[in-house]
């Protein structure tokens, strides 16, 4: 930090990020908070105002009214509150990682990562060392001497992560960081982000993280809390499991139109807190005993009135609580102890089985239809 920066102390010096802003031209009005060290996932359909929110946080856009404070320092204040404040982007301590890595093409990978520390006035050697540390942390240490155009998409995004974190940001903004990557690179980058943001072994972790995404897996792997933006407003918010299992907004329900079971990973699946074993395909980077979430498509769940026996490894006895029509299908909700499950079956199948709330049925799903991912 340069000596000219005098931290603006907010009336209530709270740690973490506090946002209450309006941007009328883009129809955004949100209030949000991110406690220190936490990751807030912002979900929402296109045009909901997610990018506008990030631009406001980064200081690239002036709000119509409202305030943004980070660790008690006022970054933005506008409108009726009286004093106008807009700390410029380069003095905010807010780093932005976009979909596109946007590495500087004329600089080597090492110089890209050293750019932030050098901008903050670090001597060349110290900046280099810090760059190398972060490149090692994202598994790109061997790429230090390369030019950005000679990197794959996944490599470039890992370097961009190192570059953002090397500035020791108080707040890290992630704008759909995996959206532009192919299917093999995305899990790799997600794993790296999970390591550096949640691993705990990096003392220079950012103070807080705002993650804009469309992807359920990003939320599960990286976020503590979720806010759903719709039409420029926060439609719902809460911790990840709460929002995804009991979605109140249509968007969260859509993104979470999947059955989620939390627990701890095993070698070939997951064990829930009440001891239910779920057989599934376990992600790489999800070691046994670690917190994990099993995800399955309700359409892959078959509902049987009697125990069908046979080979499927996941057979759960469930009490039907509710039946909801969903187009050509019927969503059968059921409980098994503390677990909430649901299955989508055809109208014909539901009629044939004469399903009704209170019935005891069997939910059956193949192990290959269940994926186990690491979770918060």
Q: Which C-beta is closer to other proteins: that of 102 or that of 258?
A: 102
**With 0-12 CB in 10 A as exposed, 13-18 as middle and 19+ as buried, what is 293?**
buried
Taking the complex as a whole, the smallest distance from the CB of residue 173 to other proteins amounts, in Å, to 8
Cα R_g (the chain), whole angstroms: 23
Per CB under 8 A, contacts with other proteins among 117-136 are 119-120
Q: Is 65 helix (H, G, I), strand (E, B) or coil?
A: strand
Q: Which of 34, 94, 197, 286 binds other proteins (CB under 8 A)?
A: 94
How many residues in the chain? 376
User: Interacting stretch for other proteins, rule CB under 8 A, among 17-25, 162-170, 252-260, 332-340?
Assistant: 162-170
Compute how many residues bind other proteins; rule: CB under 8 A.
26
Q: Which C-beta is closer to other proteins: that of 102 or that of 300?
A: 102
Taking the complex as a whole, the smallest distance from the CB of residue 121 to other proteins amounts, in Å, to 9
Q: Which of 22, 67, 115, 193 binds other proteins (CB under 8 A)?
A: 115
What angle, 0 to 180 degrees and rounded to 10, lies between the N-to-C axes of helices 109-119 and 153-165? Answer: 20
CB 175 within 8 A of CB 194: no
Per CB under 8 A, contacts with other proteins among 29-88 are 58-60, 88
Residue found by looking up tokens 């509710």 in the block: 322
Q: How many CB atoms lie within 10 A of CB 258?
A: 17
Per CB under 8 A, contacts with other proteins among 204-263 are none
Is the Cα torsion angle 34, 88, 90, 215 positive or negative in sign?
A: positive
User: Interacting stretch for other proteins, rule CB under 8 A, among 97-105, 176-184, 233-241, 360-368?
Assistant: 97-105
CB 238 within 8 A of CB 252: no
Question: Which residues make up the interface to other proteins (CB under 8 A)?
Answer: 58-60, 88-96, 98, 100, 102, 104-106, 115-116, 119-120, 163-164, 167, 173
């Amino acid at each position: 930090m340069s000596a000219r920066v005098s931290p603006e102390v907010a009336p209530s010096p709270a740690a973490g990020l506090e946002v209450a802003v309006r941007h009328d031209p883009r129809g955004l009005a949100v209030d949000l908070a991110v406690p220190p060290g936490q990751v807030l996932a912002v979900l929402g359909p296109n045009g909901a105002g997610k990018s506008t929110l990030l631009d406001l946080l980064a200081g690239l856009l002036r709000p119509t009214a409202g305030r943004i404070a980070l660790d008690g320092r006022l970054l933005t204040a506008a409108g009726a509150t009286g004093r106008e404040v807009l700390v410029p982007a380069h003095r905010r301590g807010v780093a932005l990682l976009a979909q596109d890595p946007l590495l500087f093409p004329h600089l080597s990978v090492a110089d890209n990562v050293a750019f932030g520390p050098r901008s903050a006035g670090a001597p060349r050697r110290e900046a280099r060392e810090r760059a190398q540390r972060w490149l090692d942390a994202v598994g790109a240490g061997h790429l230090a001497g390369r030019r950005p155009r000679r990197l794959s998409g996944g490599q470039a995004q890992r370097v961009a992560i190192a570059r953002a974190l090397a500035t020791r940001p108080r707040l890290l903004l992630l704008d759909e960081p995996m959206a532009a990557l192919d299917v093999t690179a995305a899990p790799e980058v997600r794993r790296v982000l999970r390591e550096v943001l949640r691993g705990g072994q990096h003392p220079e972790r950012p103070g807080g993280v705002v993650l804009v995404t469309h992807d359920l897996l990003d939320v599960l792997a990286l976020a503590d809390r979720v806010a759903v933006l719709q039409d420029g407003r926060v439609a719902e918010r809460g911790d990840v499991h709460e929002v995804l299992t009991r979605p109140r907004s249509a968007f969260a329900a859509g993104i979470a139109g999947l059955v989620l079971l939390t627990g701890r990973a095993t070698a070939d699946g997951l064990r829930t807190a009440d001891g239910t074993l779920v057989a599934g395909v376990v992600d790489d980077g999800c070691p046994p005993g670690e917190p994990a979430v099993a995800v399955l498509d309700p359409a892959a769940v078959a509902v049987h009135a009697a125990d069908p026996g046979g080979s499927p490894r996941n057979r759960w006895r469930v009490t039907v609580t509710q039946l909801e029509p969903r187009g050509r299908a019927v969503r059968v909700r059921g409980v098994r102890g503390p677990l909430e499950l649901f299955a989508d079956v055809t109208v014909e199948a539901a009629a044939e089985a004469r399903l009704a709330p209170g019935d005891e049925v069997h939910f059956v799903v193949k192990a290959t239809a269940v994926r186990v991912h690491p979770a918060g």
